[in-house]
């Protein structure tokens, strides 16, 4: 039953059966399924977060749509290889050669449930908090640093923003020891230590941006349930920007090694104060032993906050 339940979630991600993971036989010296390695998600940056409406419940691209996506990626790669960059689409977009173009994928959206691949309706309170969510818009006349969202301030992307594919620095590294799994994210320098010994979650009064994870094995699948969030991280698209979460947030993640170089990942978002029903994102990750996890020293180079604030103060003085 557990294998069937997980297969329903991941079916929208990979055509290969999830049971192939059981045949790989890769185990740690102490007998747990071996998930270790670097699994960057940036290869999936071209997959939309929400499915285009015209796709309906169709979870994969047809041949023509896939060819169009592949051609777009080749065009981007050719532009990146040019000696001189023409720059981005606007003043706040970096040159194309700064970014990771990804690889063509037939997946129609990162969201696989609801079946239409789109976010469910928000609750009334969720809509109210979404309207008040800090904007990344540089035209907003910010009065202080605290008015920027937590990603702009280099504080965190939260669990969801850390897991979802991004335009660069989307590495995730998994380490294992007896009784513990460690997840290390490249951006913004988060590390999650996940105990597997059956201990209870922390007291409800103890809350944090990344929550309190507890893991367990269900056959070949690592299941991680995370609670005790502080309700200050986002849930929409890349970087966890947009659409808030609440302190009621509970995440259920699943990691399954399908074969030597493929890890199937899914996360189901339970947040009844924000969404009218749970929703699930799922996608496959490809192991990349040549990927380098560089230090993401965001705070040390984050001059944007000071520059934006000083520019607004200067504009106010000139009025």
Tokens 């007896």 correspond to what residue?
178
pLDDT band at 117 (very low <50, low <70, confident <90, very high): very high
Burial of 9 (0-12, 13-18, 19+ CB in 10 A): buried
CA angle 101, 105, 109 (to 5 degrees): 100
> Are 254 and 228 in contact, with CB atoms under 8 Å apart?
no
First-to-last alpha carbon distance for the chain, in angstroms, is 67
Q: Would you state the pLDDT for residue 1?
A: 41
Contacts by 308-311, CB closer than 8 A, 24 or more apart: 308/138, 308/142, 309/142, 309/144, 309/145
Burial of 81 (0-12, 13-18, 19+ CB in 10 A): exposed
Residues in CB range of 184: below 8 A, 6 or more apart? 172, 173, 174, 175, 190, 191, 192, 293
Q: What is the DSSP string of 194-219?
A: EE-S-PPPPPTT--BSS-EEEEEEET
Q: What pLDDT, in 10s, does the model give residues 54-110?
A: 999 999 999 999 999 999 888 877 777 777 766 655 545 566 667 777 788 999 999
Q: Would you state the pLDDT for residue 85?
A: 64
Quick check: 145 pLDDT over 80?
A: yes
Quick check: 302 pLDDT over 80?
A: yes
Q: Would you state the pLDDT for residue 19?
A: 39
Q: Please choose, from the candidates 277, 224, 225, 270, the residue with its C-alpha nearest in 3D space to the C-alpha of residue 248.
A: 270
How much is the pTM?
0.86
> Are 75 and 142 in contact, with CB atoms under 8 Å apart?
no
Quick check: 2 pLDDT over 80?
A: no
Query: If you average pLDDT over residues 210-225, what whole number do you get?
Result: 98
Judged by average pLDDT, the poorest of 24-38, 229-243, 264-278 is: 229-243
Quick check: 284 pLDDT over 80?
A: yes
Q: What pLDDT, in 10s, does the model give residues 7-52?
A: 443 443 333 333 344 445 699 999 999 999 999 998 898 899 999 9
Domains of the chain: 19-42+121-318 (2.40.128.20)
């Amino acid at each position: 039953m557990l294998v069937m339940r997980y297969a329903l979630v991941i079916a929208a991600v990979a055509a290969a059966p999830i049971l192939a993971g059981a045949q790989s036989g890769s185990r740690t010296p102490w007998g747990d399924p071996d998930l270790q390695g670097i699994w960057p998600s940036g290869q999936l940056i071209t997959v939309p977060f929400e499915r285009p409406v015209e796709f309906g419940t169709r979870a994969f691209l047809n041949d023509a749509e896939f060819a169009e996506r592949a051609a777009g990626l080749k065009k981007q790669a050719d532009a990146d290889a040019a000696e001189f960059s023409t720059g981005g689409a606007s003043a706040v977009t970096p040159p194309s050669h700064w970014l990771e173009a990804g690889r063509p994928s037939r997946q129609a959206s990162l969201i696989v449930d609801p079946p239409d691949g789109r976010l469910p309706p928000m609750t009334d309170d969720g809509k109210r908090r979404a309207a008040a969510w800090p904007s990344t818009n540089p035209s907003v006349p910010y009065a202080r640093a605290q008015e920027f969202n937590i990603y702009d301030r280099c504080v965190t992307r939260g669990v969801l923003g850390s897991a979802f594919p991004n335009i660069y620095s989307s590495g995730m590294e998994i380490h294992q020891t007896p009784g513990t799994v460690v997840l290390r994210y490249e951006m913004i320098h988060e590390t999650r230590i996940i105990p597997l010994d059956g201990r209870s979650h922390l007291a409800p009064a103890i809350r944090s941006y990344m929550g309190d994870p507890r893991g367990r094995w269900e056959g070949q699948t690592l299941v991680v349930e995370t609670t005790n969030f502080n309700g200050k991280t986002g849930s929409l698209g890349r970087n966890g920007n947009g659409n808030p979460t609440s302190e009621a947030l509970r995440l259920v993640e699943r990691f399954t090694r399908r074969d030597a170089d493929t890890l199937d990942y899914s996360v189901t978002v339970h947040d009844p104060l924000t969404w009218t029903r749970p929703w699930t994102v799922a996608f496959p990750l490809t192991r990349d032993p040549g990927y380098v996890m560089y230090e993401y020293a965001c705070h040390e180079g984050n001059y944007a906050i000071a520059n934006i604030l000083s520019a607004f103060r200067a504009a106010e003085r000139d009025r």
